[in-house]
Structure 1
């Protein structure tokens, strides 16, 4: 092992300690015998004040042996310490060069701090790799999602400019539909990105949740009925603290999700205040979520194959938006198979009783 840097300092320090301990023993021995010969000369032989040849050999031999042992221990200790430190330094260099798969070797676990440094670096590198991969996935997904409406808009506008399409109300309504879809996609992206960076701000205040939900369902009822679904409300009338605008946004996502993917039948919308939690539940009658897809259900840009024949596909952001709104409220969103084979989504957040005036 080449003795440079930290290893050289460790070896020199251990050798200095061994030599210092030896010199301390020798000097304190002289001090002891000086006092002994001065005050108790009858108990000691003054002629033995200086070491003889054999004693000098013994002192030198023990000093050299102590130095050799100290150096050997220091070299071994330096190697054990430097394995994780050098591995972390090499890992940092490789990560800086773009190799996000680089990991450090923890080495001897008995050296707690050095091993902990390597473990923390590995955790940091793994998180950086995950974030970078997600960023690449997001960039590709966003480009894919924006490409379709932008391409349609460009084609329609170009056709209108060249006189291929008639400039009638139907064409402008079609363009408006694409623009509204693009605006919803941008808003969904904004909500999810703000939630991921923990900057999604809420306006928490006392709200009549039952009235808010009823208003949303009334507006959306015709769309649901056109898909063969009949909303059934079962609402707790007590006021709650929440951001009513965001809760309405989450409910709209769940209703749109049911309209696109659920089979015709009843669509139950319930609220419950139970054990310190407020629950908003949306339950349809089928066909439910494929079992293999449930771990990815609330991740952005993840889609399950729809069993409906409408051929419509969402952006894959809807449920991620619901999850982001739930987390911003300090709660969570969950999925469970419904009793009739459908999907049951539950948005939950902490409930604080509101004193009546």
Structure 2
């Protein structure tokens, strides 16, 4: 191993310490002998204060052995300290060069503090790699989701300009539906981004959610009825401490998800108020979210197979539900009910100790 930098300084410092200690031991021993012979001659029998040849050899040998042991100890100590530090330095250079897979190698005999430093660096590098991967995924997903409505709008408008499509009320209504979908996608992206950055502020107020949620349900009732789905409300009267606009937005996402994925049958929207928790629940009768997909159901752009592929959404609706739950200091959960259907719950605490404006 090449000895340089801090490694050399540690070895030289330890060697200097060993030499100094050995020199002081020998010097003080000689001074003690001199004082004994001068002031207490009766207790000192050696008449010659000058060391003999064998004594000089013994003192030189002890000094050399001390220096050698100090150098070996310093060499090993510096290796234990500098190996993980050099690994971290190399990892930082690799990350600066764009290699986010770089990790610091931690030796088994490294000091705990140094090993902790290297472990924290490895954790940081893993987080950077994860965030970078998620950013690439989000960029690709957003581009994919925006491309479809923009392409449709461009095609329709170009067709109307060329006279292929008649510029009548029906065409404008269709264009407006695409614009509404695009606006909703942009709003969903904005909400998820704000929550991840900690900037999603809520306007909290004491609200009776019965009228708020009933109005949302009425927007879906006819469309669900055409698909054989019956919307049932079981709303508990009482005051909920929440942002009513965001709660309505969460229910819209949950009902839209049920409309796309649930079989014909009853879809129940219910609320509960307990001493500690507020609850908004949407349940259906089947076919239910696959068990292996439940863990990912609230991830952005992750979509389970839909029965109506033409009506597939952006994959952001349930991510928005989770975002709204987190902003209220709560959580969103999904599980299967006894009938084999899906249950989505948005829970948030009664205590209003979370971010608001």
Q: Is the structural similarity TM-score above 0.5?
A: yes
Shift of 1:340: 1.6
SS in 2 for 1:156: helix
Shift of 1:335: 0.6
Structure-to-structure mapping, 1:207-218, within 5 angstroms: 207-218=207-218
TM-score relative to the length of structure 1: 0.95
Structure-to-structure mapping, 1:1-357, within 5 angstroms: 1-45=1-45, 47-274=47-274, 276-306=276-306, 308-309=307-308, 311-352=310-351
Shift of 1:212: 1.9
Partner Cα separation in structure 1 for residue 24 and residue 109 of structure 2: 35
Partner Cα separation in structure 2 for residue 141 and residue 27 of structure 1: 78
- RMSD between superposed Cα atoms in Å: 1.6
Partner Cα separation in structure 2 for residue 108 and residue 289 of structure 1: 45
Partner Cα separation in structure 1 for residue 240 and residue 50 of structure 2: 94
Shift of 1:275: 5.1
Q: Deviations over 1:145-202 (max 9, x none)?
A: 0000000000011111111111100000000000000000000001111111221111
**Structure 1 portions without partners, runs of 5+:** none
Partner Cα separation in structure 1 for residue 270 and residue 90 of structure 2: 56
Q: Deviations over 1:198-220 (max 9, x none)?
A: 21111122111233222222333
* Deviant stretches of 4+, over 3 Å: none
Q: Would the aligned equivalents of 1:189 and 1:317 in 2 still touch at CA under 8 Å?
A: yes
Distance 1:44 1:313, change over 3 A: same
Tell me which moved more, 173-182 or 76-85: 76-85
SS in 2 for 1:47: coil
Q: Would the aligned equivalents of 1:229 and 1:264 in 2 still touch at CA under 8 Å?
A: yes
Tell me which moved more, 241-250 or 308-317: 308-317
Tell me which moved more, 16-25 or 102-111: 102-111
* Aligned pairs, number: 352
Partner Cα separation in structure 1 for residue 314 and residue 109 of structure 2: 47
Shift of 1:92: 1.1
Shift of 1:309: 4.1
SS in 2 for 1:101: coil
SS in 2 for 1:48: coil
Residue equivalent to 2:355: none
Q: Deviations over 1:65-91 (max 9, x none)?
A: 110111111112222222211111111
TM-score relative to the length of structure 2: 0.95
Partner Cα separation in structure 1 for residue 103 and residue 95 of structure 2: 9
SS in 1 for 2:310: coil
Shift of 1:279: 1.1
Tell me which moved more, 286-295 or 46-55: 46-55
Tell me which moved more, 135-144 or 190-199: 190-199
Partner Cα separation in structure 2 for residue 222 and residue 229 of structure 1: 9
Q: Deviations over 1:278-335 (max 9, x none)?
A: 11110011111112212211111111111x2463211011101101111111111001
Partner Cα separation in structure 2 for residue 212 and residue 109 of structure 1: 63
Partner Cα separation in structure 2 for residue 135 and residue 123 of structure 1: 18
